[in-house]
Chains A and B, each alone.
Chain A
Amino acid sequence: MASVKFLNITKKYGENVILNGIDSEINDHEFVVIVGPSGCGKTTLLRMLAGLEEITDGEIEIDKLVVNELPPSKREIAMVFQDYALYPHMTVRENMSFALKLRKMNKAEIEKRVSEAAQILQLTPLLERMPRQLSGGQRQRVAIGRAIVRKPKVFLFDEPLSNLDAKLREEMRIEIAKLYQNLNSTIVYVTHDQVEAMTLAGKIVVMNRGIIQQTGSPLDVYRKPKNVFVAGFIGSPTMNFFRGKLVKEKEEFYFLNESLKIFVPAYALPEAEKYVGREITLGARPDDILTGEKSVDHQHKVKGSIEVIELLGHRENIYIKAGENRILATVDAFSNYSPGSGIEFSLNYQNIHVFDTLTEQRINP
């Protein structure tokens, strides 16, 4: 097991900058998920760590050793590819033992490791099959098995679940979480799916446009997103954003735009005085839009009308139109609202997010 360090990593294709000064540290035994929209450079970063992509500038360290010039085979990493990349002309067993044979490991040890991994991944009955005879989920497990038997310093996962259907993806997610508990190894996992990121990660690295936007625990990133991008990317359904000005009326602060006036308590924005009159972006997760009895602040209710209601089962999505703003509130199911009728809501002030519209950076604690 080992730590990984990115030092000012830059990647350019000609004039095209893919990664721009990535600095990050991954500790020993840490499960790090790099998450971001497609094209943000996360896979490129992973491939650079694997040695499959050249580094334009900067240094990558694995286990305190600079690996920039090392070929993939010498980096002691194992990678699970998005498309599995199983060797089609080899059986499951041969696929899993390929790397070990290359290292000239003795047969008994190979056999032991393969059967161990097969047992963990429930592949034992499939060992003599060819990849084409396996289902998608099974192939995925073989790909993971091929990585496990190596006992590498670092595991790399490149969007491993994106080719599976929703149900299988959920199952495999649990498998991977269990696997991590068993192996307790350093894992770098790339995905565009923020649910995977939230559920699997010990640490999330949110990337966009070749830059790290925020690094932190899933809870950190969810509760205190550093900027508008992270706030919008993490969390499902997406956060509501309101763009407007901060104003002061009778010693109280309000968010104001052409159709909305929302109370901003002083504890939610201690530095409010500084931002009076400036453009701010207010963010509130759908769960933090409180309606009906839950809406505690009767003094500062906001009015709107219901556009659409989506029943999810245990919850309900209510799309509220308030002037030009469309607001999503997620409430308990069977709330007895009906489309077209009026609704009043307030925000859960403890959990609101305030950003400077100009810099898009968070300004409340």
Chain B
Amino acid sequence: MNKKNAPRTFLQFVMQVKKKYLKQILMHLLILAAVAVCVYPLIRILSVSIRPGDKIVSTDLSIIPQGASFLSYMKLLQDTNFLRWLWNSLLITLATSFIGVSLASTAAYAFSRFNFLGKKSGMVVLLSTQMIPAGMLILPLFLMIMKMNLMNTYLGIIIAYSVSSLPFSIWILKGYYDTIPKSLEEAAMVDGTGPIGAFYRIILPLSTPALSIAFLFNFTTAWNEYLVARVVLFSSKQYTWTLGLFELQGQFITQWGMFAAGSMLVTIPVLLVFLYSSKWLVSGLTLGSVKG
């Protein structure tokens, strides 16, 4: 604070502090409101999942209800195929993410570094696929997977998933590669790698922030996907958790307790992946490589 702006009276001082903090306070209020909107449903689900069976449809709003228990969780794990569904989901999601990210990372590299016919239009076409609602793709996907004889298989759904998130991943990665100076690869090639070696040894390690974003995107979309799975998978053993949970919804009775318990459990893997990958999301890794 310089002398000119120094407060002369207590009132002025208060005004100055107010001005300085008003913006921050408002911003924090906004953020808190957003957090509340996000977290409130989760808390409600948590509270439903631990309610005793006779209070499932009560209007009680306390977070930890009277007679809370983990009975719904036990029932879910013992009486249903829930673990199997979780396993299926995990397998499909991980496979999807790895395949999706590896395909995207190499494709994006080509888009970023090489000149070829249809480079520009290719990027536009990729982008335009994102404008088509998922529902419209169900039928063609169904037909293709059926023709490939991959109905009700992991492979069928893995192909469908990993391909559908490719455009997004390619765009993200291409944008990131564009920021990496070309001279790094050239230096690597002069140092003795081939073009492919330069990609694996230099470009990929430098792209971890973008790669983890692409991985997270692939992971969460595949993990939460319902529509395509509904069409491709039809035996309960092959179900992902999204389909499995709907098994609990009967024609006459829906087991809301188990439903909520399942919903709570499936957030755990995503949470873990987010926490783990957050350390890779630090940007500015390329800082200091070239002049600056």
A272 in the interface (beta carbon within 8 A): no
Choose among B189, B192, B197, B289 the residue that contacts A86 (Cβ–Cβ < 8 A). Answer: B289
The answer to whether B187 and A73 have CB atoms under 8 Å apart is no
A79 in the interface (beta carbon within 8 A): yes
- Kindly specify which of B2-10, B57-65, B89-97, B178-186 makes contact with the partner chain: B178-186
- Kindly specify which of A30-38, A130-138, A211-219, A263-271 makes contact with the partner chain: A130-138
The answer to whether A77 and B181 have CB atoms under 8 Å apart is no
Q: Nearest-CB distance from B58 to chain A (Å)? A: 56
Given A84-B289, A133-B288, CB of A79 within 8 Å of CB of B194: no
Choose among B191, B205, B288, B289 the residue that contacts A102 (Cβ–Cβ < 8 A). Answer: B191
Given A132-B287, A132-B288, A163-B291, CB of A85 within 8 Å of CB of B189: no
B193 in the interface (beta carbon within 8 A): yes
Q: For chains A and B in complex, what number of residue pairs have CB atoms within 8 angstroms?
A: 88
Choose among B190, B194, B288 the residue that contacts A131 (Cβ–Cβ < 8 A). Answer: B288
Among residues of A, the one whose C-beta sits closest to the C-beta of B187 is: A85
Given A73-B193, A102-B192, A146-B191, CB of A86 within 8 Å of CB of B288: yes
Q: For A99, what are the chain B residues with a Cβ–Cβ distance below 8 Å?
A: 191-192
The answer to whether B191 and A131 have CB atoms under 8 Å apart is no
The answer to whether B190 and A102 have CB atoms under 8 Å apart is no
Q: Nearest-CB distance from B201 to chain A (Å)? A: 8
A58-103 at interface with B (beta carbon < 8 Å):
71-73, 77-79, 81-89, 98-99, 102-103
Interface size class of B (residues with CB under 8 A): 20 to 34
The answer to whether B189 and A73 have CB atoms under 8 Å apart is yes
Among residues of B, the one whose C-beta sits closest to the C-beta of A131 is: B288
A50, A81, A82, A133 — most chain B CB neighbours (10 Å): A81
A163 to B292, CA, bound (A): 9
Total number of A residues with any Cβ neighbor in B under 8 Å: 32
The answer to whether A89 and B288 have CB atoms under 8 Å apart is no
The answer to whether A85 and B181 have CB atoms under 8 Å apart is yes
The answer to whether A83 and B290 have CB atoms under 8 Å apart is yes
B68 in the interface (beta carbon within 8 A): no
A11 in the interface (beta carbon within 8 A): no
Among residues of B, the one whose C-beta sits closest to the C-beta of A103 is: B192
Q: For B205, what are the chain A residues with a Cβ–Cβ distance below 8 Å?
A: 89
B190, B191, B206, B286 — most chain A CB neighbours (10 Å): B190
Q: For A82, what are the chain B residues with a Cβ–Cβ distance below 8 Å?
A: 183, 291
B285 in the interface (beta carbon within 8 A): yes
A333 in the interface (beta carbon within 8 A): no
B228 in the interface (beta carbon within 8 A): no
Q: For A98, what are the chain B residues with a Cβ–Cβ distance below 8 Å?
A: 188, 191
The answer to whether B289 and A131 have CB atoms under 8 Å apart is yes
A192 to B290, CA, bound (A): 20
Given A83-B181, A85-B181, CB of A52 within 8 Å of CB of B288: no
The answer to whether A85 and B186 have CB atoms under 8 Å apart is yes
Given A73-B190, A73-B194, A99-B192, CB of A81 within 8 Å of CB of B183: yes
A residues within 8 Å of B by Cβ? Answer: 50-52, 71-73, 77-79, 81-89, 98-99, 102-103, 130-134, 136, 139, 146, 150, 163
Closest 3 CB pairs of A and B: A132-B288, A88-B289, A83-B290
Contact sample, A vs B, 22 pairs, CB 8 Å cutoff: A50-B190, A51-B190, A72-B190, A73-B189, A81-B186, A83-B290, A85-B183, A85-B186, A85-B290, A87-B188, A87-B202, A88-B184, A88-B206, A88-B286, A102-B192, A103-B192, A131-B288, A132-B287, A136-B291, A136-B292, A139-B291, A150-B191
B residues within 8 Å of A by Cβ? Answer: 181, 183-184, 186-194, 197, 202, 205-206, 285-292
Q: With A81-B183, A82-B183, A132-B289 given, name 9 new contacts (CB 8 A).
A: A72-B186, A73-B193, A81-B290, A83-B290, A87-B184, A87-B289, A88-B184, A89-B205, A89-B285
